[in-house]
Chain A
Amino acid sequence: MRYILITVMFLLSLILPGTLFHFWAWSGIKPDLLMLLTIYMAAHHRRLSSLLWGLGAGLLEDFYLGRYIGMYTLTLLVVAFLSNWLTERWYRENFLLTTFMVFIVTAVGQICVAFLALGAGLQWSMADIAQLVFGVALYNAVLVPITYPLIHRSFQYGWLRYRPRYER
């Protein structure tokens, strides 16, 4: 059940920004739900599992987009690593801290995408990049109070509950 639910969540994270969130975009800015989900996954797994989830999510997004393969793979790998590293040091039960963490990590992830996009030759002005990075990070952070309590509860006690191999 856990893996079915995770698969559904990943697929919805891919579909919703281009469909439903297109209508709730702020000046063209949509949330990066897959990045948000990767952060949640990394916050509730051990380091290696986090990296694998980040890698898988990145590959999924790259193949779904069908171009610039590697851009999101590397980005979500970095995002997963950073999220995991931060949650090891911060309380993940503190929703305010988690909101701040999502803001920071999303901003780093979007900067990573921007860096790779510029490397790939895409033409973006610094002002637009700054607006996009800040906007997406803020949008993702706004979604935390709505989504995180449910996800966190599910990871602790519900269908998403994760037990490392040594605990089983």
Chain B
Amino acid sequence: MGKRVNVTGIAVLVFFLLLGVLISIRLTGLGSRFPNPVGGAMQRVLSVVEKPILQLGNGIRDNTKVLWNFRNVEQENQELHKKVDQLTGDNLKLKEQVLAGLRYSELDQGVFRSPTLDKYTKVGATIINRNPTSWYSTLTVNRGSNDGVQINDPVIGDLGLVGKVVSVSPTTSEVLMILDGEGQVSAVVRDSAGNGTFGIVQGTYKRGSRLTPEGNLEMLFRRADNVNVGNLVLTSGQGGVYPQDVPIGKVKEIELDPSGLLKTAYIEPLVDFDSLEEVYIVKMVGAK
């Protein structure tokens, strides 16, 4: 005779197991400050191996790009040639403009430069790993609490905002990219005259795929708001996480809501998240 299976017992066990796991997941989610000493120790040990492997991958990609992507490289080369010609012409024009008058450049400086960012200390960091799963858009960098990095410190690239620190170990930090659906940034859209319209930039999964960086940032506005394609999106400084006037991206497309009351601006990030190798962590505590 076969063994008698206690179905009720198994069902109760499975129920409590599932309940326990769901509670644990909720308590240790993205907003939580779960200390995770085991994970911290693992990150510390493994970061020694991760960095050379990622550099090896970067090296392989850069050196074999021409083999895998010959047509694209050829096209890119032609475009770059065109751009060089165009830039040479632009450069001459620019020299004329500089001589003609400096007021436009003063306006540009007022709009695009971020004096608030200069108040903070920045730490350079190298990306040593990306999230091993495809479920979150995070990066691991080689700076941690030993370098004074704290949770919620903003992270910027050479062209603009990358994200914020969500967990810190003594030697590494994990950065949640703004592309992730869970990351939101208080932002302002500036038109060519420098006037601002405030809103929230967030990762979206409604339009493109959440698995690729393209078309994944959006902002909601009222229909009457003066937002146009090509406008620059900057951090507003509200909310206390990100400093003011850090570039995020450019408005690529505007779509009207079927209700006619709202419109969605799709934003093209300035940072190329796929080929990002170095970033700055902005230390928000102890500003000058």
Binding site for B on A (CB under 8 A): 11, 14-20, 22-23, 25, 27-30, 32-34, 60-61, 63-71, 73-74, 113, 116-117, 119-125, 127-128, 131-132, 135-136
Contacts A/B (CB < 8 Å), 6 sampled:
A18-B129, A67-B166, A68-B25, A71-B21, A119-B22, A123-B182
In this complex, the member of A25, A69, A120, A124 whose beta carbon has the largest number of chain B beta carbons within 10 angstroms is: A69
Partner of A69, one of B24, B174, B205: B24
Instruction: Tell me whether B38 is interfacial, beta carbon within 8 Å.
Output: yes
Q: Taking the complex as formed, is B260 at the interface, i.e. its CB lies under 8 A from any CB of chain A? A: no
| With A64-B39, A67-B29 as contacts: A131 and B209 at CB distance below 8 Å | yes
**In-complex Cβ contact of B57 among A11, A20, A119, A122 (8 A):** A20
- Chain B residues within an 8 Å CB radius of A23: 57-58, 60-61
Cβ A19 vs Cβ B22 within 8 A: no
Given contacts A27-B211, A119-B25, 15 further A-B contacts (CB under 8 A): A14-B46, A15-B46, A19-B54, A19-B130, A28-B134, A66-B43, A69-B28, A69-B34, A70-B20, A70-B21, A120-B25, A120-B29, A123-B205, A124-B210, A125-B205
Whether A27 contacts B50 in the complex (CB less than 8 A), given A17-B132, A68-B28, A71-B25, comes out as no
Report yes or no: B20 in contact with A17, Cβ–Cβ below 8 A. no
CA distance A2 to B83 in the complex (A): 58
Write out the residue numbers on chain A whose beta carbons fall within 8 Å of the beta carbon of B49. 11, 15
Q: How far is the CA of A57 from the CA of B43 in the complex (A)?
A: 16
Q: Which residues on B sit within 8 Å (CB–CB) of A69?
A: 24-25, 27-28, 34
Q: How far is the CA of A136 from the CA of B20 in the complex (A)?
A: 27
Give every chain A residue within 8 A of B50 (Cβ-Cβ).
15, 18-19
CB distance B46 to A11 under 8 Å?
Answer: yes
B42 at the interface (CB under 8 A from A): yes
Shortest distance in angstroms between B145's beta carbon and chain A's nearest beta carbon? Answer: 14
B237 within 8 A of A: no
For B134, list chain A residues within 8 Å (CB): 25, 28-30, 132, 135-136
Q: Is the CB of B38 within 8 A of A73?
A: no
| B25, A70: Cβ atoms closer than 8 Å | yes
| Contact for A68 among B29, B46, B181, B206, CB less than 8 A | B29
Chain A residues lying within 8 Å of B56, measured Cβ to Cβ, are: 20
In the complex, per-residue mask of B110-137: 1 if CB is within 8 Å of any chain A CB, else 0: 0000000000000000000111111100
Q: Which residues of A contact B58 (CB under 8 A)?
A: 23
What is the distance, in angstroms, from A7's C-beta to the closest C-beta of chain B?
12
B269 to chain A, nearest CB (A): 15
Q: Which 8 A-B pairs have the closest CB atoms?
A: A28-B211, A70-B21, A70-B24, A17-B132, A18-B132, A19-B53, A66-B39, A63-B39
Which B residues are in CB contact (< 8 Å) with A71? 21, 25
B152 close to A (CB within 8 Å): no
**A125 to B206, Cβ gap below 8 A?**
yes
| Chain B residue nearest in CB terms to A123 | B181
Cβ distance B74 to chain A, nearest Cβ, rounded Å: 21
State whether the Cβ of B86 lies closer than 8 Å to any Cβ in chain A.
no
Closest chain B residue, CB of each to CB of A117: B135
Indicate whether B192 reaches chain A with its CB closer than 8 angstroms.
Answer: no
Distance between Cα atoms of A60 and B36 in the complex (Å):
12
**B235 interface residue, CB < 8 Å from A?**
no
Q: Which residue of B lies closest to A14 (CB)?
A: B132
Q: Could you say which residues of chain A place their CB within 8 Å of the CB of B54?
A: 19-20, 22
